[in-house]
Structure 1
Amino acid sequence: MKRIFTLIFIPALLLIGCQSEDAGAGEGEKIEAVATIAQIADIVENVGGEHVEVKNLMGPGTDPHLYKPVSSDIDAMEEADIIFYNGHHLEGQMNEIFGKMNEEKPTYAVAETVPEDLLASDPENPEVYDPHIWFDIELWKYAVDSVTEGLIEADPDNEEEYQNNAIAYKEELDELHTYAKDSISEIPEESRVLVTAHDAFQYFGEAYGLEVLGLQGLSTESEYGVNDIERITETLTERNVKAVFVESSVSEKSINAVTEGAAEKGHEVEIGGELFSDAMGPEDTEEGTYIGMFRHNIDTIVEALN
């Protein structure tokens, strides 16, 4: 009897184990998604709604250019049903990981769905595209479409709901786009100069009519020197710009060098506030949502430059 029990019971346990491992997001189960940055996680939450559980790898104050994944990140990606990342080398330390993950499961580079003729290039490296597409809402809609497509592919039974959620979310983005244009137009034209630590706001400036100057290049891995500081302080003095801005994910050291350089030229420049560039605000705050983050940046810029 003992032998018969062993022959029947143990294979049954093994079969159950295999079935649980093979089962993906079945009926009534949520899709397990991973997003590298909070901006993308926000899309997944809005489009996926109650059908998706999303884990964001990079929290507030995190610089994705320099971020190195830890073992828990690898575990989260291995356990996920689907992965969304920005691409165009924003997550520069993770490119090899994404390639390997794409061999195992759907892995989407949402920024790489934007047509190349709409992308901006790095002035120093024309073959490198600017990855910060979330600062032009019209471009960010391509990311929304990419996430929607990915979720439908993973869970076709809820296609209609994903499509409806995406439409509703893009309507909110359209309202935000109008708010941004109207608000920036309130700044005197000669004062529409946005100075930040690194060049994350190129798309933002193009979309909303600001001249953008970054001390560092597209990536915070770029170095800056005396000539960069001199270039920016000259513009600040000539244009009588009143404020420059720090970024939540970048050290204030570089911007402090600019304010000191301007002071040496007899032009006082204040820190106009903190902008969210590569990272959003804390969870459970307005700035922890894409729309809240974007509104915060607009309001901070307008108040400081007016």
Structure 2
Amino acid sequence: MNTVRRHFLQYFSGAALAFLLVTTHLPASGGTPLSKPLKVVTTTAMLADAVQHVGGARVEVTALMGAGVDPHLYRQTHADVTRLKRADLVIYHGLHLEAQLASLMQDLARHKPVVALAEALPRQALLADEDHPEFYDPHVWMDPSLWQEVVLAARDTLIDQDPAGRQVYTARAATYINEINTANTRITTLLHSIPAPDRVLVTAHDAFRYFGRAYGYEVLSIQGISTESEASLHQIEQLVDTLVQRRIPAVFVESSVPEQHVRALTEGARARHHHLIIGGELYSDAMGRPGTPEGTYIGMIEHNARTISQALSRS
């Protein structure tokens, strides 16, 4: 058994869902050579991207959450439950990202392999939630060096379920990690083209702390780590004060978070005679549409770096 932690949060599901799962026989995949691809269902598209890169033709991957979907607030549909019932392996992020799916993951884990890949990360590499220190910031994909560890956890999980594919999974994971490293070199060069005093990233919610740590950016946000929290008028006014006093030139909207709070910042700054622009849309909790560059992990991260550097370079 590999060292990836199975993270089962202590919640209870509704009786109907429990009955549906318990009355269906759902055996785990064995280690024999596969006669057909291993059916893997992930929660987020970022996880699906990692598993597909590692698994290749040996896996058939489906993500529950598509472009623009907020994982903090997502609740399963009947179609999701059907997909999960039919899966050989279920992969979720963990670290309390998919808070609304906790009881569902616990129920599924009684019948099949359910793995939280981000739980494999060493705790010393994680950032605590400033508002809730008992939780960790789950947005680890914002730092490619941390995301590589999640890719390795995906590799180990697939090997655990399909030992005959070890050589394939190991080789493909190594290739993908090299691609991430190459992209990270480009991203670092681009982001470091902004003078250090101007490296300030302002977003709707606090999804970019790992990004800030990795690339030397100060990160300011309206909401906390989870979009479940509501921003108060006082928080918005405080942030407007900071933006005006420091003459910060740009703020950014996110593809999976409503824009109204960010637009409130620009309006508040305008009322104080400070020209504050929306520098563009960033991908925080969800990737772009499938088939686009931003519909891949590397494309998403590179898009963010280009958008940030272009907006801040105009200051």
1:114 aligns with 2:121: yes
Name 1:104's counterpart in structure 2.
Answer: 111
TM-score (norm 1): 0.91
Show structure 2 runs of 5+ residues with no match: 1-25
Contact kept? 1:62, 1:249, Cα under 8 Å: yes
Q: Distance in 2 between matches of 1:81 and 1:41?
A: 14
Q: Distance in 2 between matches of 1:27 and 1:193?
A: 49
Name 1:215's counterpart in structure 2.
Answer: 222
Give the CA deviation at 1:230. Answer: 2.2
Moved more, 258-267 or 198-207: 258-267
Computing the radius of gyration from Cα coordinates, the structure with the larger value is: 1
1:193 aligns with 2:203: no
Name 2:267's counterpart in structure 1.
Answer: 260
1:72 aligns with 2:79: yes
1:279 aligns with 2:286: yes
Q: Distance in 1 between matches of 2:53 and 2:59?
A: 10
Contact kept? 1:248, 1:277, Cα under 8 Å: yes
Name 1:298's counterpart in structure 2.
Answer: 305
Show structure 1 runs of 5+ residues with no match: 1-20
Equivalences for residues 163-242 of structure 1 within 5 A: 163-242=170-249
Moved more, 102-111 or 203-212: 102-111
1:63 aligns with 2:67: no
Say which structure is richer in helix.
1
Match for residue 151 of structure 2 among 138, 144, 150 = 144
Name 2:102's counterpart in structure 1.
Answer: 95
State the SS of the aligned residue for 1:232: helix
Contact kept? 2:28, 2:111, Cα under 8 Å: no
Q: Distance in 1 between matches of 2:177 and 2:28?
A: 33
1:44 aligns with 2:51: yes
Give the AA of the match of 2:49.
Answer: D
Give the AA of the match of 1:253.
Answer: Q
Contact kept? 1:246, 1:273, Cα under 8 Å: yes
State the SS of the aligned residue for 1:249: coil
Contact kept? 2:28, 2:113, Cα under 8 Å: no
1:158 aligns with 2:165: yes
Give the AA of the match of 2:98.
Answer: E
Q: Distance in 1 between matches of 2:102 and 2:208?
A: 23
Give the CA deviation at 1:235. Answer: 2.3
Q: Distance in 1 between matches of 2:282 and 2:262?
A: 12
State the SS of the aligned residue for 2:274: coil
Deviations 1:167-205 (A, max 9, x none): 000011111222222111111222211111100001011
Give the AA of the match of 1:300.
Answer: T
Name 1:289's counterpart in structure 2.
Answer: 296
1:251 aligns with 2:258: yes
* Superposed CA RMSD: 1.6
Give the CA deviation at 1:24. Answer: 5.1
Q: Assess, with a 3 A threshold, how the Cα gap between structure 1 residues 22 and 96 changes in structure 2: closer, same or farther.
A: closer
State the SS of the aligned residue for 1:295: helix
Q: Distance in 2 between matches of 1:280 and 1:37?
A: 9
Q: Assess, with a 3 A threshold, how the Cα gap between structure 1 residues 29 and 296 changes in structure 2: closer, same or farther.
A: same
Q: Distance in 2 between matches of 1:190 and 1:283?
A: 36
Match for residue 134 of structure 2 among 122, 127, 134 = 127
Give the AA of the match of 2:144.
Answer: I
Contact kept? 1:106, 1:150, Cα under 8 Å: no
Whose relative contact order is higher, 1 or 2, with alpha carbons under 8 Å and at least 6 apart? Answer: 2
Give the AA of the match of 2:177.
Answer: K
State the SS of the aligned residue for 1:127: coil
Contact kept? 2:29, 2:162, Cα under 8 Å: no
Q: Distance in 2 between matches of 1:165 and 1:250?
A: 33
Q: Distance in 2 between matches of 1:85 and 1:154?
A: 16
Q: How many residues align?
A: 287
State the SS of the aligned residue for 2:103: helix
Give the AA of the match of 1:102.
Answer: A
State the SS of the aligned residue for 2:133: strand
Deviations 1:24-63 (A, max 9, x none): 5863310000010010000011000011000110000101
Give the CA deviation at 1:234. Answer: 2.3
Give the CA deviation at 1:81. Answer: 0.6
Give the AA of the match of 1:127.
Answer: E
Contact kept? 1:190, 1:239, Cα under 8 Å: no
Name 1:32's counterpart in structure 2.
Answer: 39
TM-score (norm 2): 0.88
Name 1:9's counterpart in structure 2.
Answer: none
Q: Assess, with a 3 A threshold, how the Cα gap between structure 1 residues 112 and 102 changes in structure 2: closer, same or farther.
A: same
